[in-house]
């Protein structure tokens, strides 16, 4: 007994089928390539931003460590002031800090430091023992903190505190100096700020802000009479 079922032969692919399949495959590849390209660009952008953030965190940590060891003394060997640039460039911050124990004894103890911008980079340099601002020794130490910096703006916050003035009758009068941000802090200003704000202008035109707290020197705390607690 022969079966009446007959296998139908497969119809061959025609040119239209091949063209349609090729077009769909090309569209799928284009979509997948676009997704992969955007993913690669986003990954590279995040990697660059992460590296920049790590660099900024290192700068913040280094400078905060230095400012934590500034010396709140006012004499001929201890300074804290803003030096204006004679060539019209960015100002510099000059201050004395405790460098601790160093391999080279000339750089141990209280040292004179300078924070400034030169050759499109934020730099910190400090002098060896026995040298002052009028001399630039050959063995002066200098470190590049951040590259691609074109300018620097320095602002210091003068906290509210009493200013004592002596009179002929030897009585003391206290005058309140209101807290404010100052961009000029000359050497003759015999006091220390409580906050330091640095604005670094990058070569890309973007501003980077750094904030630093300075330890408050020992002494009485003055509370202005502006309300009750």
So what's the pLDDT on residue 175?
Answer: 40
Residue 183 and residue 154 in contact, taking contact as beta carbons nearer than 8 Å: yes
What pTM did the predictor assign? 0.69
Angle at the Cα of 48 from the Cα atoms of 61 and 35, rounded to 5 degrees: 150
What whole-number distance in Å separates Cα of residue 189 and Cα of residue 184? 10
So what's the pLDDT on residue 198?
Answer: 96
The SS3 of residue 136 is: coil
So what's the pLDDT on residue 147?
Answer: 93
Each residue's pLDDT, cut to its tens digit, for the chain (229 residues) gives: 555 555 556 656 677 778 888 888 888 888 888 888 888 888 888 888 898 899 999 999 999 999 988 876 655 567 888 999 888 889 999 988 889 888 888 888 888 899 999 999 999 999 887 666 666 666 788 999 999 999 999 999 887 654 444 444 333 333 435 578 888 887 777 678 888 999 999 998 899 999 998 876 544 444 445 544 3
So what's the pLDDT on residue 227?
Answer: 45
Q: Where are the beta strands (DSSP E) in 118-186?
A: 121-126, 141-147, 149-158, 161-166, 172-177, 180-182
Q: Which two tokens stand for residue 171?
A: 């009585």
What whole-number distance in Å separates Cα of residue 132 and Cα of residue 136? 8
Closest CA to 127 of 93, 135, 102, 119: 135
Residue 167 and residue 85 in contact, taking contact as beta carbons nearer than 8 Å: no
So what's the pLDDT on residue 150?
Answer: 95
Angle at the Cα of 79 from the Cα atoms of 78 and 83, rounded to 5 degrees: 155
Closest CA to 223 of 191, 180, 181, 176: 176
So what's the pLDDT on residue 207?
Answer: 93
């Amino acid at each position: 007994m022969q079966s009446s079922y007959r296998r139908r032969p497969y119809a061959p692919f025609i040119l239209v089928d091949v063209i349609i399949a090729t077009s769909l495959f090309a569209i799928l590849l284009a979509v997948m390539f676009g997704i992969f390209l955007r993913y690669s660009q986003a990954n590279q952008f995040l990697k660059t931003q992460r590296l920049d953030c790590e660099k900024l965190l290192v700068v913040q940590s280094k400078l905060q460590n230095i400012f934590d060891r500034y010396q709140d003394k006012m004499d001929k060997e201890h300074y804290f002031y803003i030096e204006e640039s004679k060539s019209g460039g960015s100002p510099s911050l000059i201050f004395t800090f405790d460098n601790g124990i160093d391999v080279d004894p000339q750089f141990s103890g209280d040292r004179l430091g300078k924070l400034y911008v030169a050759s499109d980079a934020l730099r910190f340099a400090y002098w060896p023992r026995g040298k002052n601002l009028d001399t630039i020794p050959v063995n002066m130490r200098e470190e590049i903190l951040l590259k691609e910096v074109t300018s620097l703006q320095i602002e210091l916050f003068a906290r509210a505190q009493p200013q004592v003035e002596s009179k002929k009758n030897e009585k003391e009068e206290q005058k309140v100096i209101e807290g404010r941000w100052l961009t000029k802090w000359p050497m003759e200003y015999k006091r220390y700020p409580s906050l330091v704000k640095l604005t670094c202008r990058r070569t890309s035109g973007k501003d980077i802000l750094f904030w630093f707290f300075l330890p408050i020197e020992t002494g009485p705390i003055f509370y202005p009479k502006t309300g009750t607690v």
